[in-house]
Amino acid sequence: MTQVCCNSPILLYASLPPKLYSVSAAVPLPWQFQLLDLQTSHPAPTLVPDPPAVESGPREALRLLRAALDPSVAAKVRSGAELLRHLSNHERERSDIIPTTLAAVDALLGGGLQRGKLVELVSRRAAGRFSIVLSALAAATTMGEAAALVDLGDHFDPQLAEANGVDLRRLLWVRPRTVKEAVMSAEMITATGFQLVVVDAGLHPLRGRRAPDAAWVRLARTAQAHGAAMLVSSPYPLTGTASEAVMKASFSKTRWIGQGHSPRLLQAIEMHLTLEKHRHLRPGTTARVDLAFLDSALSTQHSAL
């Protein structure tokens, strides 16, 4: 507010409101001094007893173990953990091979079909190639492994295979129409965990165009990545550089029962195997396999193609 008097301005101010005072009483909280409570209800912690004394030097059990082992082996064993590790590696090396139960074939491959590797078996008509396929399937399923047969040639007989030792409950039978479908099926099956995958291409001529080399290389890498043993049975080489080993089977001669004009029965087929290629063994090794027949049936759990 401004008032003018005697030509001199006088400034008048309005009065201020009275001061307001508020008083509140402090309310003590029950948990305010909880951290300062020195009389706790929990007992005081006790000290952990001293640990037992550590023996200096090898224990008595290790000394007895070294005394029972061969001196050359005992010098390498420094603890029980090293011994267990050595036994585990040895057992893993033994389990890395699936035998075919054919002594000649296993000898050429260094013990059998190696897991993670692709082996190709090549032969012409009536050389007994499918016999090795059935033998490998019977060996794998008998061991409790899951096996798969990609049957492009459509030569698989479930009744005959079961009679020769193949556990059909552990076998997957795939019947593709072309070579391309066979390779794709084998690759997908291998990625699912099957321990033995066999691809039988059948007889010449093959159905469909030949698969490119890159497809076989991809198939071999899939087998290596999943630790599956793979066998490719074909009338002529298909896998190229993707295979770990290549065996060539050839028909030698047959043996018959009966003479003269009387009816004769096929007694045995003699098959020769040659190791054409191997990345770790010397190629050129040969072996002979006899496939014996009795009463038009196989007596040694094999069937000739």
Residue 233 falls within a domain, yes or no?
yes
Domain count of the fold of the chain: 1
| Domain span at 175 | 93-247
pLDDT tens track for 148-204: 999 998 889 999 899 889 999 999 999 999 999 999 999 999 999 899 999 999 888
**Minimum mean pLDDT among 89-103, 150-164, 203-217: which range?**
89-103
Residue 21 falls within a domain, yes or no?
no
Three-state secondary structure of the chain: CEEEECCEEEECCCCCCCCCCCCCCCCCCCCCCCCCCCCCCCCCCCCCCCCCCCCCCCCHHHHHHHHHCCHHHHCCCCCHHHHHHHHHHHHHHHHCEECCCCHHHHHHCCCCEECCCEEEEEECCCCCHHHHHHHHHHHHHHCCCCEEEEECCCCCCHHHHHHCCCCHHHEEEECCCCHHHHHHHHHHHHHCCCCEEEEECCCCCCCCCCCCHHHHHHHHHHHHHHCCEEEEEECCCCCHHHCCEEEEEEEEEEEEECCCCCCCEEEEEEEEEEEEEECCCCCCCEEEEEEEEECCEECCCCCCC
Q: Is the pLDDT of residue 38 over 60?
A: no
Query: What is the token pair recorded at 59?
Result: 């224990």
Residue 98 falls within a domain, yes or no?
yes
pLDDT above 70 covers what percent of the chain?
A: 68
**Minimum mean pLDDT among 21-35, 139-153, 241-255: which range?**
21-35
Residue 43 falls within a domain, yes or no?
no
Q: Is the pLDDT of residue 282 over 60?
A: yes
Q: What is the pLDDT of residue 298?
A: 40
Average pLDDT over residues 62-91: 64
Residue 51 falls within a domain, yes or no?
no
Average pLDDT over residues 134-152: 94
Q: What is the pLDDT of residue 73?
A: 61
293 vs 134, more confident: 134
Q: What is the pLDDT of residue 86?
A: 59
pLDDT tens track for 53-76: 766 655 676 677 667 766 666 666
Residue 190 falls within a domain, yes or no?
yes
Residue 211 falls within a domain, yes or no?
yes
Indicate which CATH number applies to the domain containing 216: 3.40.50.300
pLDDT tens track for 216-255: 999 999 999 999 999 999 999 999 899 999 999 987 778 7
209 vs 89, more confident: 209
Residue 108 falls within a domain, yes or no?
yes
pLDDT tens track for 284-303: 999 988 877 645 444 333 33
Q: Is the pLDDT of residue 104 over 80?
A: yes
Q: What is the pLDDT of residue 305?
A: 41
Q: What is the pLDDT of residue 41?
A: 60
